[in-house]
Amino acid sequence: MTSGFTRDGAVEEKKLGEESTAGTARGPVATLRRIAFLMERQREETRRIEAFRKAARTILPLPEEEVRRRAADGTLTELTGIGPSTAAAITDACNGVVPERLVRLEATAGPLAQGGEELRARLRGDLHSHSDWSDGGSPLEEMAMTAMELGHDYLVLTDHSPRLRVANGLSAERLTRQLGVVDAVNEHLGGSFTLLKGIEVDILDDGSLDQTPEMLGRLDVRVASVHSKLKMDAAPMTKRMVTAVRNPHTNVLGHCTGRLVTGNRGVRPQSQFDAKAVFTACAEEGVAVEINSRPERRDPPTGLLELARDLGCLFSIDSDAHAPGQLDMLDYGAARATEAGIDADRIVTTWDRDRLLEWAAARL
Ligand SMILES: [Zn+2]
Ligand SMILES: [Zn+2]
């Protein structure tokens, strides 16, 4: 063991417990979920994280006695989806011990970015997230549960629209089915947290939106984003984006430049458009300019963020999470908004659910 931590949970727990409750021993499923969450927020390798998510799914339906017996017998790895490292974590949890891996992860689990803590504490929810219905990695109920654990009042589920085939975009029929599942999840949760109905709808080449007006009208919040022909000339791109912003269904302009600044998808330059014209349209229409929190995007770039601020735009600090742990990336967006001196009341994700829903429905 190279980390300096022991597997003697009692000792470690006490030490960690002095500062927070983070070191408290959890049950096996909660332990696996917590490990996956912390790995995701720190952008560890997806394949390694998936092992923990998969192991949690495997043991979730099993009787507690069976999990304990297998942990004691050393037969957890006979179950499909459980390998040596996940078995070790489960065994520790069964023994009331915090796994060493989790102790190490908890030790670096502070804010992801400096300077935005005050604003981050005022954020009530998130308008942009994906589930395994499109290109996310987890079921929508897992996304909802994690959002609740983060203290959100609401999370808008915004899976992709049909044209984005590479991301398994939802047809009107699949979206209709998803809305039924969202209703069922909310009935189950009942109360202080709401999973809201949404979409990340593609802005097509002519500026129209990639879903029927009828379906768009059934949703609570609509994020409109450009995902294709990002290298279009500035004049048609400006027209395309302004047309989308003027569409009364649009509430949020997602990751407006499309740039990628880091990460395993490589880098991509920002799209060219007349930002003043686009943001003026946003300000006039009450469409929020998204501050996309993903470190790969950091979109809009600082200069454009300041321009949108000066033109009187509303903003939405969103995670664009494709996995539960990424929901915590709002820290990055909050730090950028704070640095740009954006007034918290102009950030729609600081609003309570009722105010948010009223705003989102205002132009329909
Ligand atoms: Zn997108
Ligand atoms: Zn997205």
SS (H, E, C) 149-191: HCCCCEEEECCECCCCHHHCCCCHHHHHHHHHHHHHHHHHHCC
CA of 260 from ligand 1 middle (Å) equals: 11
Pairing of strands 252-253, 314-318: unpaired
Which ligand has the nearest atom to the CA of 254? Answer: 1
CA of 155 from ligand 2 middle (Å) equals: 13
Token pair recorded at residue 219: 């949703």
Strand partners, 253: 224, 289
What is the arithmetic mean of pLDDT over 137-146?
Answer: 96
Residue type, 34: R
CA of 128 from ligand 1 middle (Å) equals: 9
pLDDT score of 332 = 98
CA of 320 from ligand 2 middle (Å) equals: 5
Which ligand has the nearest atom to the CA of 128? Answer: 2
Closest to 312 (Cα-Cα) out of 276, 353, 339, 274: 276
Model confidence band, residue 1 (pLDDT cutoffs 50, 70, 90) = very low
Please say if the pLDDT value at position 326 is more than 50. yes
Please say if the pLDDT value at position 2 is more than 50. no
Please say if the pLDDT value at position 10 is more than 70. no
Reported pTM: 0.91
CA of 6 from ligand 2 middle (Å) equals: 40
Please say if the pLDDT value at position 11 is more than 70. no
CB 285 within 8 A of CB 94: no
What is the arithmetic mean of pLDDT over 225-245?
Answer: 98
What is the arithmetic mean of pLDDT over 280-288?
Answer: 98
CA of 265 from ligand 1 middle (Å) equals: 13
CA of 200 from ligand 2 middle (Å) equals: 6
| C-alpha distances out from residue 155 to 79, 164, 185, Å | 34, 22, 12
Cis peptide bond upstream of 111, omega within 30: no
CA of 333 from ligand 2 middle (Å) equals: 15
Letter string b/e over residues 290-328, b meaning 16 or more CB atoms within 10 A of that residue's CB: bbbbbebbbbbbeebbebbbebebbbbbbbbbbbbbbbb
Question: Which residues neighbour 310 within 8 Å (Cβ) at sequence distance 6 or greater?
Answer: none
CA of 294 from ligand 2 middle (Å) equals: 10
pLDDT score of 265 = 87
Token pair recorded at residue 348: 């729609």
Least confident stretch, 17-21, 25-29, 231-235? 17-21
Model confidence band, residue 190 (pLDDT cutoffs 50, 70, 90) = confident
Which residues crowd ion ligand 1, with CB under 5 Å?
225
CA of 351 from ligand 2 middle (Å) equals: 21
What is the rounded average pLDDT for all residues in the chain? 93
pLDDT score of 104 = 96
What is the arithmetic mean of pLDDT over 227-239?
Answer: 98
Which ligand has the nearest atom to the CA of 255? Answer: 1
Which ligand has the nearest atom to the CA of 135? Answer: 2
What is the arithmetic mean of pLDDT over 273-292?
Answer: 98
pLDDT score of 350 = 98
Please say if the pLDDT value at position 180 is more than 60. yes
CA of 211 from ligand 1 middle (Å) equals: 15
Closest to 28 (Cα-Cα) out of 75, 63, 1: 63
Unique residue bearing structure tokens 């599942």:
181
CA of 361 from ligand 1 middle (Å) equals: 22
CA of 226 from ligand 1 middle (Å) equals: 7
Upper half-sphere CA count for residue 240 (Cβ side, 13 Å): 26
CA of 255 from ligand 1 middle (Å) equals: 7
pLDDT score of 23 = 59
**Alpha-carbon span 360 to 364, nearest angstrom:** 8
Q: How far is CA 19 from the centre of its chain?
A: 27
CA of 18 from ligand 2 middle (Å) equals: 38
